[in-house]
């Protein structure tokens, strides 16, 4: 079987972590990383894998149909993992257009080119298209609510970002139903960890706090509750301890040592 995987948005936070993981766990696969290198994409995130002969980087837009067709014809990927997206809610409020272009139109181009290529080459049995989505398509719940979202919850996106992700999910579902295309969708909640662009909550909080601690304008400790935490950030301040409320996540951050906190 052909062992090529097309990963989009692989220079961003989650995509680059996925590539590091994937190349280690599946060294026999050929990886094509298609990334537009927006402000959020950084080739530094791929240090350590970029010299692997099975890894190929292509700078480009998932909404560029000719380019995506060229990549399918040249590399014949059997799997697609679509991480590529504009991903910051606040930016989507300032300027939604690029979110529609990348997250909706781009997803449709990828789905369509993959569908045509896999159909023509009789690959539906072995191929998979994984659309990376977000729990934000379900909207939000009041803190005191006992309701939980499930995969069957209604879509109630609250921002242009989550609306664009919901639109892509509906397209992905439609390709599955209409063409019987092998499509999967995953909707995780917030992630944090190494290689995350520092506009997101946790890295932004750490960086802001670090500045306040260093110039003496803030107390040195921040506390919250949870299962896992970050402790003793090397290079911050020796008495600065930072514990976050995230239950699941990646347990390494450059320059930080992590401690496991007892589950309450
Ligand atoms: N970060 C989270 O907590 C989180 C949670 C749930 C879901 N997601 C989803 O996971 C995916 C990855 O998120 P992330 O936090 O790594 O995002 P990110 O912003 O760090 O990375 C996005 C990457 O996509 C690339 N990109 C953007 N538009 C593109 C286009 N048109 N063509 C090609 N490449 C393009 C960027 O250059 C960047 O490298 C996104 O689809 C996001 O919606 C993220």
pLDDT tens-digit readout, 120-142: 999 999 999 999 999 999 999 99
DSSP state of 187: E
Closest ligand 1 atom to Cα of 17:
16
Closest ligand 1 atom to Cα of 192:
3
pLDDT score of 211:
67
**Domains of the chain: residue spans and CATH:** 4-188 (3.40.50.720), 201-260 (no CATH)
Indicate if ligand 1 lies below 6 Å from the C-beta of 36: yes
Indicate if ligand 1 lies below 6 Å from the C-beta of 182: no
pLDDT (tens digit per residue) in 150-176: 999 999 999 999 999 999 999 999 999
Q: Cite the active site residues.
A: 135-136, 161
Q: Which of 13, 99, 204 to mutate to test the pocket of ligand 1 (most atoms within 8 A of CB)?
A: 13
**CA gap 237, 255 in Å, rounded:** 12
Burial code (b: 16+ CB inside 10 Å, e: under 16) for 38-55 equals: bebbbeebbeebeeeeeb
**CA gap 46, 15 in Å, rounded:** 10
pLDDT (tens digit per residue) in 181-220: 999 999 999 998 889 888 877 888 877 776 666 666 665 4
Indicate if ligand 1 lies below 6 Å from the C-beta of 172: no
pLDDT (tens digit per residue) in 82-122: 999 999 999 999 999 999 999 999 999 999 999 999 999 99
């Amino acid at each position: 079987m052909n062992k090529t995987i097309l990963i989009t948005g692989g220079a961003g936070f989650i995509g680059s972590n996925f590539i590091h993981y994937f190349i280690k766990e599946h060294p026999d696969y050929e990886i094509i990383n298609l990334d537009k290198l927006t402000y959020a994409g950084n080739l530094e995130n791929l240090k350590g894998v970029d010299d692997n002969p099975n890894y190929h980087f292509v700078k480009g837009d998932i909404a560029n149909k000719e380019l995506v067709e060229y990549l399918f014809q040249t590399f014949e990927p059997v799997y697609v993992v679509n991480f590529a997206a504009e991903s910051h809610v606040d930016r989507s409020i300032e300027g939604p257009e690029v979110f529609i272009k990348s997250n909706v139109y781009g997803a449709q181009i990828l789905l369509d080119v993959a569908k045509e290529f896999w159909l023509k080459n009789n690959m539906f049995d072995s191929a998979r298209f994984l659309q990376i989505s977000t729990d934000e398509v379900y909207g939000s719940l009041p803190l005191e609510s006992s309701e939980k979202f499930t995969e069957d919850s209604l879509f109630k996106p609250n921002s242009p970002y989550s609306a664009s992700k919901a639109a892509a999910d509906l397209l992905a579902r439609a390709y599955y139903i209409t063409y019987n295309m092998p499509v999967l969708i995953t909707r995780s909640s917030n992630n944090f960890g190494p290689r995350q662009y520092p506009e997101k909550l946790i890295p932004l909080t750490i960086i802001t706090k670090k500045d306040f601690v260093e110039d003496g304008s803030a107390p040195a400790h921040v506390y919250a509750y949870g299962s896992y935490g970050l402790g003793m950030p090397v290079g911050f301040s020796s008495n600065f301890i930072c514990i976050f409320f995230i239950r699941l996540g990646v347990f390494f951050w450059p320059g930080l040592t992590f401690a496991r906190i007892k589950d309450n």
